């Protein structure tokens, strides 16, 4: 769970990257960083915290050069501290290099162990650093060749940006798990995890970087390589369900349109008689609107979100402790009192949010609470860059829908099926081929894992 942004050949490279990262902030809130380059070197700033807290005019002025890459981070591999903030920069025998990575390498540990056995010293615990070591060790002549030979060795998910003194390289793994798009501002190329960043910096969208594509951008040209064996793409379906911003255009569709379609399918599959439909904001909003449109029920705001909950919030020592979800959400008494409510969220992970919301609505006088989820039960962890807890913490891995309903205290609980997702995504006029990874719901992982990786979870899968 990270966002990346880059720009080549623009006099305001740092400022535009700052804006791009701001638009991608939903993809990671732990740390952020920008590295710029000109002919005399790299200029870098990265810290823990939000983009708007880390960068100011003064800092941005110091980031010189007409090309830059940036990163916002939410750790899925490697701990959360500043050494792990990206972009990650090094100086090696063949020059300077910085890298920003969204994804998870499934064979990072195997390669890291191998390299450490030969004496390599790692500065961080991120799997991204493995890529840097492999590039430095490569005997190929040019950076682009070294990057391509490195990418042949790594497995898993990556959308990558690499910056050197004279070029930017953008790459996407052969399955295309994570998004990556390219656009233009005048003569400058911009690359971003999501198109919502292009809208902010007024870049023109060109296209997705294709799964398995490596793009080489230099002063005089842009060149595309397709160096890997072609496989059927496996875009992450959870980007549509929860992670991406609704206003982004991704994998050939607008995220908001897909979310509404998921809500419509959810209504077709699970509807019960009720008075109103309410979302759990913000993540359930798109699906709740689709649900309301399908059923003709009024869409209401029954829960209001406080957008200013920082991770630094300190609860009082005694008396009213453990605010939990109340810090973030509160019920609107007039909307929910005496109503039979359909409450829609995008997913249930541990089920703590859901059960607290059911209680909150009941305390405000709801007559019935029917919990609806615009995705199937999340029963398997993600190894491709979404932060999911281990399988034992995923309530759906060990409990049936009826048991989860009883635990949450709702009147009924309904999930969307995998078939429902397929119908929602295929809600396009042309013929549609389902190119998505839904391993978090189905347990069907597109790639093999190296021995030892996620062993605990894998054993659990086999026992099932
Ligand atoms: P839980 O209380 O663990 O069931 O959390 C469910 C809520 O977390 C849902 O409202 C989702 O919108 C949200 N959610 C789902 N996946 C993630 C994730 N990987 N990281 C953070 N939040 C998530």
pLDDT digits (tens, 9 = 90+) for 16-72: 999 999 999 999 999 999 999 998 899 999 999 999 999 999 999 999 999 999 999
Cβ atoms of 333 and 227 within 8 Å: the answer is no
* Predicted pLDDT of residue 462: 41
Which residues does residue 250 pair with via DSSP β-bridges, in sequence order? Answer: 253
Sign of CA dihedral 125, 130, 133, 137: positive
| Closest residue CA from atom 13 of ligand 1 | 347
192 and 280, same structural domain? no
Contacts of 230 (CB under 8 A, 6+ apart): 174, 212
The pLDDT of residue 461 is 44
Ligand 1 centroid, distance to 328 Cα (angstroms)? 13
33 in Cβ contact with 45 (< 8 Å): yes
Q: What is the mean pLDDT of residues 268-287?
A: 97
What three-state secondary structure class fits 27? helix
Query: How far apart, in whole angstroms, are the C-alpha atoms of residue 207 and residue 165?
Result: 26
Instruction: Note whether residue 334 is domain-resident.
Output: yes
- What distance in Å separates the CA atoms of residue 238 and residue 213, rounded to the nearest whole number? 22
Give the structural domain span for 406. Answer: 255-309+318-429
Paired strand residues for 172:
159
Span from the CA of 199 to the centroid of ligand 1 (angstroms): 27
At 464, is the pLDDT very low, low, confident or very high (cuts 50, 70, 90)?
A: very low
Contacts of 367 (CB under 8 A, 6+ apart): 338, 339, 340, 341
What φ, ψ does residue 183 adopt, rounded to 5°?
A: -145, -170
| Residue 319 confidence (pLDDT) | 53
C-alpha 275 – ligand 1 centre gap (Å): 26
Distance between CA atoms of residues 71 and 106, nearest Å:
21
**Same structural domain, 271 and 349:** yes
- 197 and 339 share one domain: no
Contact 302, 335 (CB under 8 A): yes
* Mean pLDDT of the 255-262 span: 97
Query: Is the same domain home to 273 and 136?
Result: no
Mean pLDDT of the chain: 91
Q: Is the pLDDT of residue 427 over 60?
A: no
By CB neighbour count within 10 A (0-12 exposed, 13-18 middle, 19+ buried), where does 145 fall? middle
Nearest by Cα to 371 from 258, 295, 257, 266:
266
Residue 326 belongs to a domain = yes
Please tell me whether residues 191 and 264 are part of one structural domain: no
- 373 and 261 in a single domain? The answer is yes
| Rounded-to-integer distance, Cα 169 and Cα 132, Å | 13
Instruction: For the chain, give the number of residues.
Output: 464
Using most ligand atoms within 8 A of CB, pick from 345, 347, 379, 384 the residue to mutate for ligand 1.
Answer: 347
Q: Is residue 8 part of a domain?
A: yes
Flag the least confident range among 90-104, 176-190, 312-326, 341-355.
312-326
30 occurs within a structural domain: yes
Task: Identify the residue whose tokens are 């399918």.
Answer: 265
Assigned domain for 104 exists = yes
Atom of ligand 1 nearest to the CA of 345: 10
What's the pLDDT score for residue 324?
73
Q: Which two tokens stand for residue 398?
A: 């060990």
How far is residue 148 CA from its own chain's centroid?
24
Q: What is the pTM of this model?
A: 0.93
- Domain end, chosen from 234, 263, 296, is at 234
Q: Which atom of ligand 1 is nearest to the CA of 389?
A: 19
The per-residue pLDDT for 18 is 98
Out of 103-107, 357-361, 454-458, pick the least confident.
454-458
Write the CATH number for 402: 3.40.50.2020
Residue 2 is among the residues annotated as catalytic for this protein: yes
Residues 84 and 151 in one domain: yes
Predicted pLDDT at 43: 97
Instruction: Kindly state whether residues 228 and 259 are assigned to the same domain.
Output: no
pLDDT for res 315: 56
116 and 167 within one domain: yes
Residue 32 sits in a domain whose CATH number is 3.60.20.10
User: Which residue(s) pair with 203 in the sheet?
Assistant: none
Cβ pair 268, 294 in contact under 8 A: yes
Of all protein residues, whose CA lies closest to atom 5 belonging to ligand 1? 349
Same domain as 133, residue 37? yes
Q: Which residues have CB under 6 Å of ligand 1? A: 242, 280, 283, 345-354, 386-388
Q: How far apart are CA 108 and CA 127, in angstroms?
A: 5
Sign of CA dihedral 147, 149, 150, 151: positive
202, 234, 266: which is the final residue of a domain?
234
What distance in angstroms lies between residue 282's CA and the mean position of ligand 1's atoms?
A: 11
With tokens 């160096």, the residue in question is 227
Spacing, Cα 16 to ligand 1 middle (Å): 31
Number of compact structural domains in the chain? 2
Kindly state whether residues 150 and 213 are assigned to the same domain.
yes
Q: How far apart are CA 435 and CA 100, in angstroms?
A: 25
Residues 230, 259 share a domain: no
**Residue 452 maps to a domain:** no
Q: Is there a contact between 177 and 384 (Cβ–Cβ < 8 Å)?
A: yes
Q: Is the dihedral of CA 431, 437, 441, 444 positive or negative?
A: positive
pLDDT in tens, 291-304: 999 999 999 999 99
Residue 152 has what DSSP assignment?
T
pLDDT at 135 over 80: yes
Residue 415 falls inside a structural domain: yes
What is the helix (H) or strand (E) element at residue 199, kind and residue range?
helix 196-201
Annotated catalytic residue, options 2, 36, 236, 382: 2
pLDDT of 71-110, one tens digit each?
A: 999 876 666 778 889 999 999 999 999 999 999 999 999 9
- The rounded distance, in Å, linking the Cα atoms of 18 and 6 is 10
Take residue 285 and report the two structure tokens written for it. Answer: 């909003």
| 374-402 pLDDT, tens digit each | 999 999 999 998 887 778 889 999 999 99
């Amino acid at each position: 769970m990270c966002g990346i942004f880059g720009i080549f050949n623009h006099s305001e490279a740092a400022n535009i990257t700052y804006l791009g990262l701001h638009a991608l902030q939903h993809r990671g809130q732990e740390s952020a960083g920008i590295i710029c380059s000109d002919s005399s070197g790299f200029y870098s700033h990265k810290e823990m915290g939000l983009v708007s807290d880390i960068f100011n005019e003064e800092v941005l002025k110091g980031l010189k050069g007409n090309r830059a890459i940036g990163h916002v981070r939410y750790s899925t591999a490697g701990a959360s501290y500043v050494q792990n903030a990206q972009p990650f920069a090094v100086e090696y025998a063949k020059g300077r290099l910085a890298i920003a990575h969204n994804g998870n390498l499934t064979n990072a540990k195997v390669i890291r162990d191998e390299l450490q056995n030969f004496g390599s010293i790692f500065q961080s615990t991120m799997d991204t650093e493995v890529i840097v070591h492999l590039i430095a060790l490569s005997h190929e002549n040019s950076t682009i060749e070294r990057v391509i030979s490195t990418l042949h060795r790594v497995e898993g998910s990556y959308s990558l940006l690499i910056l050197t003194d004279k070029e930017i390289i953008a790459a996407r793994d052969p399955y295309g798990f994570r998004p990556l798009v390219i656009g233009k501002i005048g003569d400058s190329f911009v690359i971003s995890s999501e198109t919502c960043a292009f809208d902010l910096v007024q870049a023109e969208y060109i296209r997705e970087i294709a799964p398995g594509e490596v793009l080489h951008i230099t002063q005089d040209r842009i060149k595309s390589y397709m160096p890997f064996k072609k496989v059927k793409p496996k875009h992450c379906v959870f980007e549509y369900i929860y992670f991406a911003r609704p206003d982004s255009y991704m994998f050939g569709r607008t995220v908001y349109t897909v979310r509404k379609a998921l809500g419509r399918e959810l209504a077709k599959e699970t509807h019960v008689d009720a008075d109103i439909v309410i979302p759990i904001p913000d993540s359930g909003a798109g699906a709740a609107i689709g649900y309301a449109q399908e059923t003709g029920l009024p869409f209401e705001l029954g829960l209001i979100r406080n957008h200013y909950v920082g991770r630094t919030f300190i609860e009082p020592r005694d008396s009213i402790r453990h605010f939990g979800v109340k810090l973030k959400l509160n019920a609107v008494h007039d909307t929910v009192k005496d109503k039979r409510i359909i409450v829609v969220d995008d997913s249930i992970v541990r089920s703590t949010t859901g059960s607290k919301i059911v209680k909150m609505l009941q305390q405000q006088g709801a007559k019935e609470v029917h919990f609806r989820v615009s995705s199937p039960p999340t029963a398997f962890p993600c190894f491709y860059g979404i932060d999911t807890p281990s399988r034992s913490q995923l309530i759906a891995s060990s409990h049936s829908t009826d048991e989860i309903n009883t635990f949450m205290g709702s009147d009924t609980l309904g999930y969307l099926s995998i078939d429902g997702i397929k119908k929602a995504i295929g809600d396009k006029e042309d013929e549609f081929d389902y190119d998505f990874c839904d391993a978090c719901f189905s347990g069907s992982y597109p790639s093999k894992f190296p021995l030892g990786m996620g062993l605990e979870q894998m054993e659990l899968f086999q026992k099932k």
